[in-house]
Structures are given as structure tokens and as C-alpha cells.
Amino acid sequence: MNDSIKKLGIFTSGGDAPGMNAAIRAVVRSAIFYDREIYGITRGYEGMIEGDFVKLGARSVGNIIQRGGTILKSARSAAFREPEGRKKAFEQIKKNGIDALVAIGGDGTFTGLHKFYEEFGIPSICLPGTIDNDIPGTDYTIGFDTATNTAVEAIDRIRDTALSHNRLFFVEVMGRHSGYIALNAGVAGGAVGIIIPEENTTIEDLFTKLDEGGKTNKKSSLIVVAEGSKIGGAMDLAAKFSERNNYFDIKVTILGHLQRGGAPSYFDRVLASRMGLAAIEGILNGQKDCMVGIRSNQIVFNSFNEIMTGSHPIDQELLRISKIMSI
């Protein structure tokens, strides 16, 4: 192991995701297990620039594995996007004697840390923490499972009222560029239609689907829409349907940031724990400028260049299943 790395810094950046605290806990306790000091950097890159560092111990991260959000806080930093801001961050890193960095976040976090490594050479490694599951190089990101379970629970409750009132519900879930939550929640929730950014579904396709259901005496329908849908969000689609259909009572539910909160699922807690340990063991064994991922249930390390130039394609088999199940 690399004996020159004695002090590490850990921070969270970008949007919060359930399981981030579990990942913080894993990183901190793994570092202590290997007899390293570890410091929390609050508010992401903004806190790094301002020198907001606090030493963490095993008890500092007690009783957080079950909590949503992030105890280290998260913030976006316009200053870090500029060379002057990154230089200030580097000065604080050196002032505090930090030898390596561990970040938990999404593609914006990765881009910033890769740039920081290129300019100053601080060994760094990332854990993918985002509910969208849109990061290449890993089958799952921390927070995706919890967010999808939250969406499914909401859909189940909405279905009860849809069945009671002959209603058509449009349920909008998060996913500006990725349809992973919409697709998985839609299949699990029995949606008649699933609208995701990766597909070129049209309004006419949806009308045809509902007409087919009407012919078989379908009394209620539920359509799951990713917020990044190419044909509009749930409110837009509901308005367009209202103009041409008076059979259903049309309602809209936008789940929004509800999906970010709440206690992480067992899956996200275990995933975060595995990735947190891998981050520390990886960086102490020479891994740097990379991201921890999980593929076929095995830990892998992906270079930032691979992550930033790749994509995480939607599951085509699950998409096929969704179309068959919606009849």
C-alpha cells in the first residue's frame, strides 16, 4: 500500500442521493482501519475553497447509515469552475496536509475532480452517488434503488385512487437525461405507458395505447413520465390529452424531490459500503483519477476519461418487457 498517503479528504457534491451517508461512513471507517487520518470537507467544492475541513473518527459517522441526505452537506460551486477557484482549493488542501481525495457525486463532480487532478496531481477517486443511474462504468449508482422504490410506492398509492375514479394519471419522476427511474418504476408499477428521454414515443403512440386499453374495457390508466421526456412533462401531456379525450378524468402527480429523500434501501446501504471500502483500498493501492463501479456484482475501477466520454444505455430488454406488460 502507498505509505505516502496518510491523510485523506472526503466530500459530497451535486444533488444528494440516499446512501451518501452510508458511503461516507464506509470511507471513513475504512480509512481508519488502514490507520489513515480522514477529514470531511463540507459543502463540496465550495467548502474546499473556503477551507471548511473537519477531522472525522469512527464515532463521527455512527448512526448515519440509515439516514438520507449527506452529513457533509452539498453545494454547487461556480468558483471551482474557474482556475482561480481551483487554485484556492489546492492551497487549502496543502494547508491541511491532505494527500488524496474521495468524492461522492455525479458527472459534474467527476468532471471537477478530474480537472483538479490534471492541474495539481492530487490522487483522487469518486463514488457514483446519483439517483438517476446515468453514470457509465457501473450497473448501479448509490441512491437509484431507493429513489425507484420511493416512486413505486407512490405509484401504488396513486393507482388506488385511479381505479376508484376511472382516472388517467400522469406521474412524473426525476430523470432529465436518463429514463432509468421511469422505466423501472413504470414496469414495477404496472404503467400502461412509460415516456423516457431515450425513446422517441409520440403523442399518437400514447393515444393508440389508451385506445387499445379501452377496447378491452380498461377502466383506469397510469403513464410514467421522466422529467426529460422529449414530448413534454406530465403537465404538458395532460393538457394535450385533455384536448382530445373526455373519457378519463385526467390527473397529474409530480414526485419531484420526494425521490431524493428518505432512508436508503438495504441495497443502497450495502452498495455504498462496498464502494466506500473499495475507494480506500483502491487509492492506497495506486488507483487514481478514476471512479469505483460495480459490474455483474464485482467491484471495478473506471478511468475518468472512460466515464466522461461514455454513456449508460437504457436496458432494452426491460423496455421490451414494459411494452408487452402494458396491454
Q: Model's pTM, two decimal places?
A: 0.93
Query: Would you state the CATH architecture of domain 7-143+264-309?
Result: 3-Layer(aba) Sandwich (3.40)
How remote is the C-alpha of 203 from its chain's centroid? 29
Task: Find out whether 101 and 39 touch, Cβ atoms under 8 Å.
Answer: no
How confident is the model at residue 163, as a pLDDT?
Answer: 75
Length of the chain: 327
Could you count the other beta carbons within 10 Å of the beta carbon of residue 69? 18
Lowest mean pLDDT among 16-25, 91-100, 303-312: 303-312
Residues contacting residue 134 through CB under 8 Å, at least 6 positions apart: 106, 107, 141, 175, 177, 178, 180, 311, 312
Q: Is 170 helix (H, G, I), strand (E, B) or coil?
A: strand
Q: Fold identical between 7-143+264-309 and 146-261?
A: yes
Alpha-helix runs per DSSP H in the chain = 20-33, 44-50, 83-95, 107-120, 144-165, 180-188, 203-215, 234-244, 266-284, 304-309, 316-325
Domain boundaries in the chain? 7-143+264-309, 146-261
Q: Contact 120/95 with Cβ under 8 angstroms?
A: no
Active site positions, annotated = 132
Residue range 145-161, pLDDT digits in tens:
999 999 999 999 998 88
Residue 105 is predicted with a pLDDT of 95
Greatest mean pLDDT among 1-5, 188-192, 273-277: 273-277
**Superfamily covering domain 146-261:** Phosphofructokinase domain (3.40.50.460)
Q: What is the pLDDT of residues 212-271, one digit of tens each?
A: 766 666 666 899 999 999 999 999 999 988 887 666 788 999 999 999 999 999 999 999
The pLDDT, as a whole number, for residue 58 is 95
Give 244's contacts (C-beta < 8 A, 6+ positions apart): 207
Distance of alpha carbon 300 from alpha carbon 279, whole angstroms: 10
